[in-house]
Chain A
Amino acid sequence: MGLHIIVCIKSVITTAPENGIVRSADTAELNPFDRPALEVAISMVEEQGGMVTVLSMGPPACAFVLNEAMAMGADRGVLLSDARLVDSDTLATSTALAAAIKKLVPFDLALFGTRTYDSDTGQVGPQTAVLIDAPLVTGVTSCEFKDNLLRVDRKIDGFREEYELSLPATLTIHPSAVKPRDIPLGGIEEAFNTKKINVLTLDDLEITPGIVGSAGSPTRVISMTRVTRERKCEFLTGTTDEQVEELLDRIKKSGLIG
């Protein structure tokens, strides 16, 4: 039997989207925050046996992130791709992902990164957990199986919280949890030659188009402008001791040291 872990991953835009960028392997990359989640899933399945499914939503040109995840060690890829999904906000995205996960049952764990490199909302993991009705722990820093129960840690405000979850469960994995492995050349060869990507459309998910895409998105980004940070250089005056005192005082006030 073994575990079935689904990891939801995203292709993120690597350059600032000023003139409407077409997402492709040359303008996008696998969200770096998803890599620790992949590592957790792959190493857990290496230890416990089972299968890792990677799931991503996006245009066909983004299938490369699934190949990359399979080259790392995931077993199969599922691409959720449909023109009617364009302009989905985080809720519509979660709705579509949840519908896809329901098609991939049974599963033991659904894993997410804590956030994405390009839009940085951190909402998709938690929203999807609600929609698939699975318990959720966010920002997980470590996890292990003991006696058929999953124990996970998260760190928050100087405290370490420990949770015990029954499966199936949803986790968002904190980047500090693990160092993601590098991709071996043999893994790439295997991903492209022997592993498969299954493409799902809205018709496969059996959901009405009205709850995804722009129609299913209660939020909309109406504009995006680059924020330029004003930098200024200031020279402290006085004797060396006075300058040091002043500098320390400012660093303390900024909260950098206590």
Chain B
Amino acid sequence: MNTLLTEKNRAVRRSVRAFCDREIMPIAGEIDREARFPWEIVEMMGKLGYFGIQAPKKLGGAEMDAMSYVITIEEISRTCGSLGLCVTVHNSVAVYPILAFGTEEQKERWIPQLARGEKIGAFGLTEPNAGSDAAGIEATAIRNDDHFVVNANKAFVTNGGVADICLIFARTDPNAGRRGISVVVAERGTPGFVVGDVEDLCGMRANPVSSIRLHDCKIPAENLIGKEGMGLQIGLMALDTGRVGIAAQAVGIAQAALEEAARYANQRQQFGVSIGHHQSIQAMLADMATQVEAARLMVYRAAILRDQGKPFSQASAMAKLYASEMSSTVTDMAVQIHGGYGYSKAYAVERYYRDARVTRIYEGTSEIHRMVIAKGVLDEYK
């Protein structure tokens, strides 16, 4: 029992867990092997409000708090990292920026279908030559009367292969540096909107991560989110929110690995006893459980700060850094406890291990997070 949770938060956990255990858990291994995006599950999740967790009710969302959001992501990720990724990216870096910076017309145009999961959202910031250095993007959006002509090559776009709507970060003013970047909503089907091949990744294989390229793509001027030049600010604010989701995802994956490892340690016999009787296995399980709980508390703290309207950027960066690194460590130990079987695709911990790895990379690498956190610390104690 987690004392930070309200009855409502617990109801969220129970209901999401019940759904995920019944619908996702049985197919999670299969969709990973087949690298298949499970539309049948996505449709059900849409009806349950998972694609508009914090969107207002009047726009088709569930209008929940950030705590309920992270619990939902944690629980989906406990059964399938790829779907946790799909849902968190959609909510935090596609729906949220439109809600936070979009006009009423833009919200009414895009949010209801996004919130019901009838359309899938994506976020196109990263490029082949611009990842951690977000200000280094080369995409351009040149204003021409009532539209922008956009040329962009966006790499590693989560949900890219299925996205109907993608936020594209591009330079509207080539001479304005960081302040020359803007964000426009590009819709699939617009001439010049090209979805690249789905990436053949190590983990998160059920998510169709792909490149999205825009070739002389005419995007109506009314698709600009916020004002020209606000792109980087919008992107970084979206990532602040997104980080809490990725941290929750990392906790969910690690929780799954912990549960599998403990079950296996109770079952597997060596030297005449279950391996859970051996001190070295106990030490690993103790460290795993402790680290999962520590990361979970950091995630919940960031969510609580957000719900209270307090600054949560530093807390979310710390939660993302710690949870993602913890997830790699904990899933690694789960493989170790399983021995040779843990290295086999026949056991789920192998998938958890692969899925956990990327949480240290996307939505800000561990290295960038350390820079961000360190800057906060240096500023605080000058």
Contact = CB atoms under 8 A, between A and B. Distances in A.
Contact of B7 (A29, A182, A189, A192): A192
B7 A183 contact: no
A24 to B, nearest CB: 8
A124 B167 CA distance: 57
B72 A185 contact: yes
Interface stretch (B44-52, B104-112, B121-129, B358-366): B44-52
B44 A185 contact: no
Given A67-B7, A189-B63, A192-B7, A184 B14 contact: no
A189 B47 contact: no
B11 A67 contact: yes
Contacts of B14: 25, 29, 68
A68 B57 contact: no
B255 interface: no
Contacts of A25: 7, 10, 14
Contact of A185 (B1, B7, B12, B18): B12
A192 B11 contact: yes
A186 B61 contact: yes
Nearest to A30: B14
A71 B19 CA distance: 14
Interface string B1-33: 100000110111011101100000000000000
Given A182-B44, A183-B48, A188 B8 contact: yes
B281 interface: no
B153 interface: no
A186 B57 contact: yes
Given A25-B10, A67-B11, A192-B7, A185 B47 contact: no
Interface centre among A25, A64, A182, A188 (most CB of B within 10 A): A188
Interface string A174-204: 0000000011111011011000000000000
Interface string A43-74: 00000000000000000000010011001000
For chain A, the bracket of interface size reads 10 to 19
Contacts of A182: 15, 18-19, 44, 48
A56 to B, nearest CB: 15
A189 B52 CA distance: 13
A68 B19 CA distance: 14
Contacts of B53: 185
A71 B18 CA distance: 14
A26 interface: yes
Contacts of B49: 184-186
A68 B16 CA distance: 12
B115 to A, nearest CB: 10
Contact of B48 (A26, A68, A184, A191): A184
B62 interface: yes
A26 B44 CA distance: 27
A105 B15 CA distance: 31
A189 B63 CA distance: 7
Given A183-B48, A186-B49, A68 B61 contact: no
B64 interface: yes
Given A26-B1, A68-B15, A185 B64 contact: yes
B50 A185 contact: yes
B62 A184 contact: yes
Interface in B149-204: none
B62 A189 contact: yes
B68 interface: yes
A189 B64 contact: yes
Given A182-B19, A189-B63, A189-B64, A68 B44 contact: no
Nearest to B23: A182
A64 B10 contact: yes
A190 to B, nearest CB: 8
Nearest to B2: A26
A165 to B, nearest CB: 33
Interface in A7-32: 25-26, 29
Contacts of B48: 182-185
Contacts of A26: 1
What 3 pairs between A and B have smallest CB-CB spacing?
A185-B62, A185-B49, A183-B15
28 contacts: A26-B1, A29-B14, A64-B11, A67-B11, A68-B11, A71-B11, A182-B15, A182-B18, A182-B44, A182-B48, A183-B15, A183-B48, A184-B48, A185-B50, A185-B53, A185-B64, A185-B68, A185-B72, A186-B62, A186-B63, A188-B15, A188-B68, A189-B62, A189-B63, A189-B68, A191-B11, A192-B8, A192-B11
Given A67-B11, A185-B49, A188-B8, 5 more contacts: A64-B11, A182-B15, A188-B15, A188-B64, A189-B68
